[in-house]
Chain A
Amino acid sequence: MTAMDILPQLILNGIIAGAVYALMALGFNLIYGATKFFNLAHGILAAVGGYVVFFLFKSNGWNLYLSVIIAVLITGLVGYLIDKVIYSPLRKRKASNMILLVASLGIFTAIQAIIAILFTSQFQTLSTGAGDQNIYQIGTGIITQTQIIILISGLLIMAGLILLLKKTLLGKAIKAISDDEEVAKIVGIDTNKIIGYVFFIGSAIAGLAGILVGFDIGLEPTMGMGLLLKGVIASIIGGVGNIYGGVLGAFLLGFAENFGIWKISGEWKDAIAFGLLIIFLLFRPQGIFKK
C-alpha cells in the first residue's frame, strides 16, 4: 500500500477516535467548568454505561434502544449520586482541589474493581455478531455502521449541549456558575442543585461514549482510564473548561494518535497522547482557546 492509499483510512480513524474523545471531553469540561477540579471518576462512568448495556442487552436480551437509553440514564444517576454523597459534602467544607482529586481517584479505583467482580476482567463486546454490520467504503478507507453511529451521535450531543447551554435557563445557570460560583450564589442560583444536574448530564454523556466504544471495540473494566485520560488531554489541548475547545482538542488528539502510529508502532498510542499533553502543558498551558 502506498501512502496515498492508507491516507483516507487514517483520516477516518482519526475522526472516529476524535468523536469518542470529544464526548469524553464534553462531559469532563462541563463538570470541570462548574466545579474547577479534575474529576477522575469521570472515566469510570464510561465503563458503567457500557456494562449496563452489556447486562440489559446481552445478558438479559432487552431491546437494544431501550437498553441504551436506560444505561445512559443510570450512568447519569450514578454521577449525580457520587456528587451528592461525596463531592458535595467536600465542597461545603471548602476542601482543596487536591482532596477532591484524590477522592475521585478513590471512586475510580473502587467502581472499576466492582465492575471487574460483577463482569470479570475479560474483554467482552457489545455487538451481537462480528461481520454482520454494514461496511461503507470511502475512497480507499472503510467505515463501519457502528462508527457512523458514533460520529452522528457525537455531533448530535455536541449540538444538543451547545443549545442547552445557550438557550435554556439551566444552561445560563451553568454558565453563571462556571464564570463565578460565589456571584451565582448571590444572585439566587441554587448552585449545589445545578452542579448536581451538571454531574448528571456530564456523566450521562460519558456513559454514551462508553456504550459506543463497547459496540465499536469492546468492553473491559480498565477501559475507563484510557477514555478519561484522552478526554482530559483533549480538554487541556483545547483549553480546559471550554467545551468548544475540548471538541477541537479531541479531534486533534485523534489525528495525532492515528498519524503517529503510521510511522511508529501502535503500542505507542498512549505515549504519543501523553507526549502531546506534556508539550501543551509546557508551551501552551491555557490550551488553544483560553477560557
Chain B
Amino acid sequence: MEYLIHLAILFAIYAILGISLNLVVGYAGLLSVTQSAFYGIGAYVTAILLTQSGIGFFLSVILGIIITAVVSFLMGIVLSKFDDDYYALGSFGFNIIIFSIFLNWQDLTRGPLGIPGISRPVLFGFNFSQNAAFLVLALIVLAAIYFISKFIVNSSFGRVLKAIREDEKAIQVFGYNTFNYKMMIFVIAAAMAGVAGALFASYITFIDPSTFTLNESIFILVIIILGGLANLKGSILGALFLILLPEILRFVGFPTEIAAQMRQVVYGVILILLMLYRPQGLVGEYKL
C-alpha cells in the first residue's frame, strides 16, 4: 500500500510536469527540451529556503515559483529568437547550463552532495508528513494545475497560441504580438514545473543535481508525446503509463542496474515507434 502511494505521488508530480510542458510544445508548438531545469530550480529554491530559513513551506514555494518564472523569462527572451529545431537546440543548451549551475555552484547547492533534511510541508497548521496526506496534497495541486491549464487553453489566449503554432506569420498580420503570447505561456509553464519541483523536494526530503538532467527533460517529452500533444488528459495518461511501466519491467525480474537501463531503452523505442507510426501519440490533437 505504502508503495502504491509512493507511485501515485510520483505520478502526480510527473503529470504536472507533463501538463506544463504540453502547454509549450503542444499548444504553442515550441519544442522545448529544458523543463527539468525549471523543475530543478523550483526544487532547489524550495529546498534551500526550507533548510536554511524559517519562512515555512508556503512562502518557500511562492519564492520558488517567482525565481523559476524570472529565470524562464530571461531564457525565453533568448529562445524567442529561434524557431523549430534551433529552438530545441537552444533549450537543450539552457538545460545543460542550469544543470552545471546545480552541480558547480557548491556554496549554494552543495553540488553533487545534494541537500538533505528538507522538511515535509506544513500548511495552515497541518503537517503532511504522512505519505497518504502528501498524496492528497499532490493530487489537489495536480487538479489545480489541470484546471488552470484547461482554462488557459480554452480561453481566447489559448486560441491565439494554437494559431501561432499553425501559422505564426498569419496571426501576426492580424496584429497579435506573438512574442508576448509565447513568452507568457513559456513562463507560466516554467512556474508550474517549479511547483512540481517544490513538491518533489519536500516529498523525497533530499535533492541532488542528478534528478534534473537533460534525460529528465527527455522523459517529460516522452510523457507528452506518448499521451498526445495539445491534449491535457493525454499528458496525465502518458505520466500514468510511464510511471507504471518500470513496475511491469520489475516483474520481469531484471536486476536493479539493468532495469534502470531497460527503462531508458523502452523510452527510446517508444519515441522511435511513435514517430514512425503514431506521431500524434495516444490522444493527441497536434503532430510535430
A and B interact: yes
B85 within 8 A of A: yes
Q: Hey, which chain A residues are within 8 Å of B265, CB to CB?
A: 109-110, 113-114, 117
Query: Chain A residues with Cβ under 8 A from B103's Cβ?
Result: 267
Q: Is B96 among interface residues, defined by CB-CB distance under 8 A? A: yes
Contact B271 A106 (CB under 8 A): yes
The answer to whether A38 has its CB under 8 Å from any CB of chain B is yes
Q: Is the CB of B218 within 8 A of A105?
A: yes
Expressed in whole angstroms, the Cα–Cα distance for A4 and B176 within the complex equals 57
Q: What A residues does B78 contact at CB under 8 A?
A: 278, 282
- Choose among A110, A232, A275 the residue that contacts B268 (Cβ–Cβ < 8 A): A110
Report chain A residues within 8 Å CB of B271.
Answer: 102-103, 105-106, 109
Please tell me if B270 contacts chain A, counting CB pairs below 8 Å.
Answer: yes
In the complex, what distance in Å separates the CA atom of A112 from the CA atom of B267? Answer: 12
Contact of A108 among B94, B268, B270, B287 (CB under 8 A): B268
A97, B84: Cβ atoms closer than 8 Å: yes
Residues of B within 8 A of A236 (CB): 89
On chain B, the residues within 8 Å of A116 by CB distance are 261, 264
A274 touches B93 (CB 8 A): yes
Residues in A whose Cβ lies below 8 Å from that of B279: 95, 99
B88 at the interface (CB under 8 A from A): yes
Scoring A residues 248 to 291 as 1 if CB is less than 8 Å from chain B, else 0, what string do you get?
00000000000000000101101100110110011001000000
Establish whether residues A268 and B100, one from each chain, have CB atoms under 8 Å apart when the complex forms: yes
- Any chain B CB within 8 A of the CB of A194? no
What's the count of A-B pairs with C-beta under 8 Å? 128
Least Cβ distance of A74 to chain B in Å?
A: 20
CB-based contact B101/A271 at 8 Å: yes
Chain A binding site: helix, strand, loop or mixed by DSSP? helix
Tell whether B59 is near chain A: CB-to-CB under 8 Å: no
Q: Is the interface of B mostly helix, strand, loop or mixed?
A: helix
Please, which residues of chain A bring their CB within 8 A of the CB of B287?
Answer: 96, 99
For B214, the chain A residues whose CB sits under 8 A away are: 225
| Contact string against A for B residues 267-282, beta-carbon threshold 8 Å, 1 for contact and 0 otherwise | 1111110011001000
Q: Quick one: which of B90, B100, B264, B270 contacts A112, CB cutoff 8 A?
A: B264
* In-complex Cβ contact of A281 among B82, B97, B276 (8 A): B82
Interface members, chain A 190-233 (any B CB < 8 Å): 225, 229, 232
Contact in complex: B92, A95 (CB < 8 Å)? no
| B268 nearest in chain A by CB position | A110
Tally chain A residues at the interface, Cβ within 8 Å. Answer: 44
Closest chain A residue, CB of each to CB of B259: A117
> CB-nearest residue of chain B relative to A106?
B271
* Cβ contact of B93, chosen from A109, A225, A278, cutoff 8 A: A278
Q: Which residues of B contact A229 (CB under 8 A)?
A: 92-93, 96
Whose C-beta in chain B lies nearest to the C-beta of A36? B85
CB B73 to nearest CB in A, in angstroms, measures 16
B82 touches A38 (CB 8 A): no
Q: Are B104 and A267 in contact, with the CB atoms below 8 A?
A: yes
Given A268-B104, A282-B81: A109 in contact with B276 (beta carbons within 8 A):
no
Some 24 contacts from A to B, beta carbons below 8 A apart, are A86-B275, A89-B276, A95-B275, A97-B84, A99-B275, A103-B272, A103-B275, A103-B276, A105-B221, A106-B275, A107-B268, A109-B265, A109-B271, A110-B265, A112-B268, A117-B261, A236-B89, A267-B104, A274-B96, A274-B97, A277-B89, A281-B89, A282-B78, A285-B86
Top 5 A-B pairs ranked by shortest CB distance? A110-B268, A106-B271, A113-B264, A109-B268, A103-B275
User: Which residues of A are in contact with B by a Cβ distance under 8 Å?
Assistant: 37-38, 86, 89-90, 95-103, 105-114, 116-117, 120-121, 225, 229, 232, 236, 265, 267-268, 270-271, 274-275, 277-278, 281-282, 285
Other A-B pairs, 13, CB within 8 Å; known A99-B275, A102-B31: A38-B89, A86-B272, A90-B275, A95-B275, A97-B85, A106-B267, A110-B264, A112-B264, A114-B261, A114-B265, A117-B258, A117-B265, A271-B97
